[in-house]
Amino acid sequence: MLKNTQTLSYNNFTHTVYGLRYAFRLTGREDRAIQLPSIKKLRKLPVILSAQEIKTLLCSPKLLKHRILLASIYSAGLRLCEVSGLKQSDICFDRNTIHIRQSKYKKDRLVPLSSYLKKGLLKYYEACCPRDYVFNGRDGHGPLSHRAIQQVFRETVKRSSIHKKVTLHSLRHSYATHLLEYGIDLISIQKLLGHAHISTTIEYLHVAQFKESKRISPLDILYNQV
């Protein structure tokens, strides 16, 4: 009834149902909890930006800081919280790695530092002199807030005239999909993204576009190798 009569987002509805279930269990009303509606997860394919759209997007911001910010998210497949909390000490220019610390699932991971991003970061450091964090907020000391990062992305999308319904997370989706299209295996992509389960990574198979390869029979390969 609540879902059918109220204008609720999927997340709000989910939190309401789980909250009620928990409350009923605490008060010994398991019978009421069972009667609550089941929650069916909505499955939507992620929106992916093409390689040309990514290029257009990364060239659109006026400020160098914003160009490097968005390039960092795409080049390493970063989540919003990860790019916000990224510190200069997490980037190793000698080993060309980015250390993502205690992100989702409280796990660390290492991702490659793009050579292009490396040049951009060094140029940005020299021009903007950030402190501690890679991207500082207005006070010049703390990290750039989640809201500010999302605002940068929204304004950039408007400036670039991209009409797809994209969010900041679309850069991470595009990163994973493009790696898959370039021939990187799913296990490697799972580790780069920090996914707990391979089933989450497999979803990108539904949106990746592969060049049609030559059709062959494994029997021919079997006997040609002898």
What are the backbone angles phi and psi of residue 49, rounded to the nearest 5°? -90, 140
Render 148-203 in DSSP notation, one character per residue: HHHHHHHHHHHHHT--S---THHHHHHHHHHHHHTT--HHHHHHHHT-SSHHHHHG
Active site (annotated) includes residue 154: no
Q: Residue 67: helix, strand or coil by DSSP?
A: helix
Active site (annotated) includes residue 172: yes
- Catalytic, out of 3, 118, 159, 169: 169
Active site (annotated) includes residue 195: yes
- Catalytic, out of 66, 172, 173, 178: 172
- Catalytic, out of 32, 79, 99, 109: 79
| C-alpha neighbours within 13 Å on the C-beta side of residue 23 | 8
Active site (annotated) includes residue 104: yes
- Catalytic, out of 104, 123, 131, 164: 104
Active site (annotated) includes residue 175: no
Active site (annotated) includes residue 40: no
Alpha carbons 211 and 166: distance in angstroms, whole number:
25
Residues tagged active-site: 79, 104, 169, 172, 195, 204
